[in-house]
Chain A
Amino acid sequence: MAQPARTSGIRWSPWNLLLLVPLVLLVTPIFNRAGPALFGLPFFYWFQLAGVALGVLATVTVYLKTRDKPTNPATGPEPDVDSLDEGAAR
């Protein structure tokens, strides 16, 4: 975890691989069928709608699991919106 603050190039975490999981929605033979239906929706439709949850799960997990690695740490106090604006505070 203890990456130096200024590393070069690419930063890698195995958790990032989760981002590839939603690509299952490109494998049409898995879900190109009518049954079983859910609430009257054929499988083709509700499976892909359920894919939205899968995508969210992937991005949320990666966000939470890679959050503890700071990028370049902030120096000084956390600036608020106004101090970032227009460089007035600088």
Chain B
Amino acid sequence: MRWTELVIFLLLFGVVTVLGFFAARWKAGSTLDHLDEWGLGGRKFGSWITWFLIGGDVYTAYTFVAVPALMFSAGAAGFFALPYTVILYPLIFMPLLRIWSVSRARGYVTPADFVRGRYGSSVLALLVAITGIMATMPYIALQLVGLEAVLRTLGLNGSGALGHLPLLIAFVVLALYTYQSGLRAPALIAFVKDILVYLVIIVAVVYLPIKLGGWSEIFGAADAKFKATPAPGDGLLLNGNNQLQYATLALGSALALFLYPHSLTGVLASRGRTVIKRNMSALPAYSLLLGLLALLGFVAIAAGTKPLVNHATGNPDTNTIIPNLFAEQFPSWFAGIAFAAIGIGALVPAAIMSIAAANLWTRNIYKEFLRKRATPREEARQAKLASLVVKFGAVAFVLFIDPQFSIDLQLIGGVMILQTLPAVAIALYTRWFHVWGLVAGWVAGMGWGMVMLYGIPSADGKRAHFGTSALKLGELNLFGWHPFGGSTLQIYVGFVALVANLVVAVAVSAVARRMRVFNGLDETRPEDYHVDEGHADLKPVAAH
């Protein structure tokens, strides 16, 4: 047991818990019984809060743990997270403004709400909502994996059910204050989380290289390690086969990120278009941080850090690399702060994700199909309950199923959420796509994406299915035809599935438009996509 670290961790965890409960009264509206308030914090967050909230939401504990772990084991290929988060903001700059405006004008809370309004189709909205929920659930479970990596490094590495108890307690606390305070809780906690994270990573990237003899030494050690391993895919640079995978994974991930309901929740909670525009320039600060953090994977190689064996599964867990590096290299009080940063870093996204999933359930399934005349008060109540169900579902994932399953599912989730791009992002610009074209495209992209993922074994050959998201082009199979037979180039599965999705959507749309099939009613007006805060036509926030 690492007592100093544990005490500091518990202290900071306690501070955050108090903040979480206090948040219900922070900038409070007159009621929390409305999704605009509980689920979107009153739609009034300014630039700073939005920066901390989205940063705390998108750059999760799992990212902080898994990206360096990937660098540690694979080298350059793990660095895709940097180009991904660099191209992200310029790409989404314009679409985000449009979806903010139309959501503000029409009172939309979820991306599926927008699809419902744009196409008047509850089927298409249901598909988007279900995709969102299914992609978010394993993401929450992964936050738990990140949190547990820290707890186990702290010494709370028990075996069996008892070993999971600290995690369970942390999550019960989180569930309670999210239930009470809604989005305001993670928004307030994100301040603490991000300040701690910046502090820890800046100290780490300055202090550790000095201690270990400089970056040249560190890269030298990493190079030696990769040259010594038999695996062909690792190394300090990309090789001929994984460059296409690197680029398509970065692009696909960038296109997918703000289709995730929890990312959009942070955007819709902001006050106006200027807040979003400013954040498109300010959020890359986190990208820089992520890039530096990724390099800590190499620092861990140079420092000779070994992954901890998880006593619940009996396997060495690469995700403990970074916590272990901190524990070995930092004085114990600072390691405690570092652990708290990662631990709290798991709570913020987990809270926002559960709120986003709960919003989807409430608006696009409960209200749409189960109880059409639900009042805003009933909606808020339903969402609060759903947030509990979602969180404990995620806990059950981690407790009763191998954590590897969550990692697989998250891989699948990225491919899945990308398939909503035509219905959500393209629909912001045009209604050329026919509603049935979008449905058909979704089915094609989803189905083929799953088939491809199922067929990919892991790099070490231990698992036959859902090994990675990198598909060898030579194995691309179109009804028995191999268009790139023999090629060893790798490509991101989600990207291939999206192309299939678009091709099918275009073809079916063209036919449906030619046959003049009814394409749903569009309740949005062109000017809705440009409204800003203070506009006269805005729907009042949290109006019953």
Residues of A within 8 A of B (CB): 6-11, 16, 18-23, 25-29, 32-34, 37, 39-42, 44-45, 48-49, 51-52, 54-56, 58-60, 62-63, 71-72, 74-76, 78-79, 81, 84-88, 90
- 16 contacting pairs across A/B (C-beta < 8 A): A18-B90, A22-B90, A25-B87, A29-B243, A32-B76, A40-B216, A49-B82, A51-B83, A52-B82, A52-B288, A55-B90, A71-B530, A72-B532, A85-B542, A86-B30, A87-B542
Known: A8-B527, A63-B281. 12 other contacts (CB 8 A): A8-B526, A22-B90, A40-B214, A44-B76, A48-B82, A48-B86, A59-B89, A71-B530, A74-B532, A84-B43, A86-B37, A87-B543
Report how far A21 CA is from B526 CA in the complex, Å. 28
Cross-chain contact B273 with A86 (CB below 8 angstroms): no
Cross-chain contact A51 with B82 (CB below 8 angstroms): yes
Partner of A85, one of B83, B243, B251, B541: B541
B interface residues, tally (CB under 8 Å): 63
Report how far A32 CA is from B209 CA in the complex, Å. 23
Chain A residues positioned under 8 Å from B277 (CB to CB): 59, 63
B195 at the interface (CB under 8 A from A): no
Cross-chain contact A75 with B215 (CB below 8 angstroms): no
Cross-chain contact B237 with A60 (CB below 8 angstroms): no
| Known interface pairs A52-B291, A55-B90; A87-B530 also in contact (CB < 8 Å) | no
Of the candidates B86, B243, B273, the one having the most CB atoms from chain A within 10 angstroms of its own CB is B86
Cross-chain contact A84 with B532 (CB below 8 angstroms): no
Report how far A56 CA is from B246 CA in the complex, Å. 22
Chain B residues positioned under 8 Å from A19 (CB to CB): 90-91, 93-94
Chain B residues positioned under 8 Å from A10 (CB to CB): 429
Cross-chain contact A22 with B532 (CB below 8 angstroms): no
| Known interface pairs A25-B83, A81-B27; A72-B89 also in contact (CB < 8 Å) | no
Cross-chain contact A55 with B86 (CB below 8 angstroms): yes
| Known interface pairs A19-B91, A85-B541; A56-B284 also in contact (CB < 8 Å) | yes
Chain B residues positioned under 8 Å from A28 (CB to CB): 238, 243, 246-247
Report how far A8 CA is from B530 CA in the complex, Å. 9
| Known interface pairs A42-B237, A44-B237, A84-B541; A62-B247 also in contact (CB < 8 Å) | no
Cross-chain contact A26 with B219 (CB below 8 angstroms): no
Report how far A11 CA is from B288 CA in the complex, Å. 31
The contact string, 1 if C-beta is below 8 Å from chain A, for chain B 32-61, is 000001000011101000000000000000
B159 at the interface (CB under 8 A from A): no
In the complex, the 4 A-B pairs of residues with the closest C-beta atoms, listed nearest first: A87-B540, A40-B215, A8-B526, A74-B534
Chain B residues positioned under 8 Å from A55 (CB to CB): 86-87, 89-90, 284, 287
B477 at the interface (CB under 8 A from A): no
Report how far A71 CA is from B215 CA in the complex, Å. 48
B163 at the interface (CB under 8 A from A): no
Residues of B within 8 A of A (CB): 27, 29-31, 37, 42-44, 46, 76, 79, 82-83, 86-87, 89-91, 93-94, 101, 209, 214-219, 236-238, 243, 246-247, 250-251, 271, 273, 277-278, 280-281, 284, 287-288, 291-292, 295, 429, 526-527, 530-537, 540-543
Closest to B27 in A: A81
Closest to A25 in B: B83
Partner of A81, one of B89, B101, B271, B284: B271
Closest to B525 in A: A8
Cross-chain contact A9 with B526 (CB below 8 angstroms): yes
Cross-chain contact B542 with A45 (CB below 8 angstroms): no
Cross-chain contact A86 with B215 (CB below 8 angstroms): no
Closest to B83 in A: A25
Closest to A58 in B: B90
Chain A residues positioned under 8 Å from B292 (CB to CB): 49
Chain B residues positioned under 8 Å from A42 (CB to CB): 219, 236-237
Of the candidates B209, B288, B531, the one having the most CB atoms from chain A within 10 angstroms of its own CB is B288
Partner of B531, one of A7, A71, A87: A71
Cross-chain contact B93 with A62 (CB below 8 angstroms): yes
| Known interface pairs A39-B215, A52-B86, A86-B29; A26-B247 also in contact (CB < 8 Å) | yes
Chain B residues positioned under 8 Å from A75 (CB to CB): 534-536
| Known interface pairs A32-B238, A48-B83, A51-B83; A63-B278 also in contact (CB < 8 Å) | yes
Chain A residues positioned under 8 Å from B534 (CB to CB): 74-76, 78-79
Chain B residues positioned under 8 Å from A62 (CB to CB): 90, 93
Partner of A27, one of B31, B37, B247: B247
Chain A residues positioned under 8 Å from B90 (CB to CB): 18-23, 55, 58-59, 62
Cross-chain contact A34 with B29 (CB below 8 angstroms): no
Cross-chain contact A84 with B271 (CB below 8 angstroms): yes
Of the candidates B42, B288, B534, the one having the most CB atoms from chain A within 10 angstroms of its own CB is B534
Of the candidates B209, B215, B217, B533, the one having the most CB atoms from chain A within 10 angstroms of its own CB is B215
CB distance from A57 to the nearest CB of B (A): 9
Report how far A73 CA is from B292 CA in the complex, Å. 42
